[in-house]
């Protein structure tokens, strides 16, 4: 009889523990805008609790926990007055594929694999066809300037690359330049000196052994666009033009000043001459009368 009582007490004690565990960690609803994405995209996991749980008063601040295949990925505290959070995963990779669930409870859930996580949402991450990174130092350049393209292999793909491959730079499907893999960092820089209008176009970096841009055995980057604008007047030409205009204006001003000076001299000479002749005539008249 004593054993029966102990078993009953143990049963209720275990029941209380399970009840506390399930109350501390409630199943939350999870929403994903797209369940199929491509590597490099940003995925937003929206996690929220039901309206019933929102009405229950909480003495302590609770947390949301995001799981993938029942392994915790991330945790965020519950915002004040908002019974939902959004987990952001930027530049997601292929290993992000899996079943995602969300839970709501205290800050340190510990091992809760055996607690109900609710219906999972399966996220499928597809491998991107673009496996290289191509960066252009300036997307818009004027004729006569130098531009540089930096092509590199991402860290997560460096172990699987072909060691004897080449980096090739293409413009609108035609090869522009080629470089072997350097011994150090698996990245190269392509430079174009004194670009002109014909260098405008879409550039792509390709890595591999085959000299074919779209070969299945090669890795390639997203295209980047270079816009080369025409240079109408160079600074030297502009400076010379201003200097010539200034010289011409100065010469014209001198001619006008000389012309005006001569005119004034002629007028003054006429006045002086007329006054001299008037005095001579007057003096001559006085001598005759005397």
Instruction: Count how many domains the chain has.
Output: 2
Query: Does residue 103 belong to any structural domain of this protein?
Result: yes
Provide the b/e sequence for 196-230 (b: ≥16 CB within 10 Å). Answer: eeebbbebbbbbbeeeebeeeebbbbeeeebebee
Of 137, 216, 132, which Cα lies nearest the Cα of 168?
132
CA distance 48 to 116: 16
Question: Quick one: 122 and 149 in the same domain?
Answer: no
Question: What is the pLDDT of the chain when averaged over all its residues?
Answer: 76
Query: Does residue 196 belong to any structural domain of this protein?
Result: yes
pLDDT, one tens digit per residue, over 172-224 is 989 999 998 887 778 899 999 999 999 999 999 998 877 766 676 788 898 99
Query: Does residue 183 belong to any structural domain of this protein?
Result: yes
Query: Does residue 186 belong to any structural domain of this protein?
Result: yes
Question: Quick one: 184 and 215 in the same domain?
Answer: yes
Question: Quick one: 99 and 162 in the same domain?
Answer: no
Question: Quick one: 38 and 117 in the same domain?
Answer: yes
| Domain endpoint, select from 106, 126, 146 | 126
| Domain endpoint, select from 73, 96, 126 | 126
Question: Quick one: 91 and 162 in the same domain?
Answer: no
> Is the pLDDT higher at 35 or at 8?
35
Query: Does residue 155 belong to any structural domain of this protein?
Result: yes
Question: Quick one: 114 and 137 in the same domain?
Answer: no
Question: Quick one: 155 and 217 in the same domain?
Answer: yes
pLDDT, one tens digit per residue, over 18-56 is 333 334 456 788 999 999 998 878 999 999 887 655 555
Handedness of CA 75, 81, 82, 87 (dihedral sign): negative
Bridge-based pairing of strands 121-126 and 36-38 is: parallel
235: left (phi over 0), alpha (psi -120 to 50) or beta: alpha
Query: Does residue 97 belong to any structural domain of this protein?
Result: yes
Question: Quick one: 121 and 137 in the same domain?
Answer: no
Domain coverage including residue 224 = 130-229
Question: Quick one: 165 and 91 in the same domain?
Answer: no
Question: Quick one: 113 and 137 in the same domain?
Answer: no
Question: Quick one: 55 and 92 in the same domain?
Answer: yes
Residue 65 has pLDDT above 60, yes or no: yes
Q: What residues contact 161, with CB distance under 8 A and at least 6 apart?
A: 153, 181, 186, 207, 219
Query: Does residue 19 belong to any structural domain of this protein?
Result: no
Residue 42 is part of a domain; what is its CATH number? Answer: 2.60.40.10
Question: Quick one: 136 and 208 in the same domain?
Answer: yes
189: its two tokens? 């820089």
| Domain endpoint, select from 103, 126, 149 | 126
pLDDT tier for residue 11 given thresholds of 50, 70 and 90: very low
Tell me the three state secondary structure of residue 32: strand
pTM: 0.47
Query: Does residue 271 belong to any structural domain of this protein?
Result: no
């Amino acid at each position: 009889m004593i054993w029966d009582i102990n078993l009953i007490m143990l049963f209720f004690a275990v029941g209380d523990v399970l009840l506390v565990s399930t109350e501390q960690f409630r199943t939350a609803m999870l929403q994903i805008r797209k369940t199929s994405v491509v590597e490099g995209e940003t995925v937003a996991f929206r996690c929220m609790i039901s309206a019933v749980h929102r009405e229950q008063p909480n003495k302590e601040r609770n947390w949301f926990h995001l799981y993938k295949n029942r392994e915790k990925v991330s945790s965020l505290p519950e915002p004040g007055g908002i019974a939902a959070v959004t987990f952001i995963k930027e530049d997601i990779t292929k290993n992000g594929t899996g079943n995602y669930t969300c839970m709501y409870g205290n800050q340190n859930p510990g091992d809760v694999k055996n607690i109900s996580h609710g219906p999972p949402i399966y996220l499928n991450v597809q491998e991107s066809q673009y496996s290289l990174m191509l960066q252009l130092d300036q997307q818009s350049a004027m004729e006569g300037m130098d531009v540089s393209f930096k092509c590199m292999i991402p860290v997560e793909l460096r172990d699987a690359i072909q060691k004897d491959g080449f980096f090739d730079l293409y413009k609108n499907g035609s090869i522009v330049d080629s470089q072997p893999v350097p011994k150090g960092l698996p990245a190269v820089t392509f430079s174009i000196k004194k670009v002109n209008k014909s260098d405008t176009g879409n550039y792509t970096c390709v890595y591999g052994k085959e000299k074919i841009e779209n070969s299945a055995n090669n890795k390639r980057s997203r295209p980047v666009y270079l816009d080369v604008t025409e240079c109408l007047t160079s600074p030297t030409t502009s400076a010379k033009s201003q200097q010539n205009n200034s010289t011409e204006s100065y010469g014209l001003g001198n001619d006008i000043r000389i012309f005006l000076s001569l005119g004034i001299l002629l007028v003054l000479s006429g006045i002086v001459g007329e006054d001299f002749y008037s005095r001579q005539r007057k003096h001559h008249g006085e001598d005759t009368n005397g």
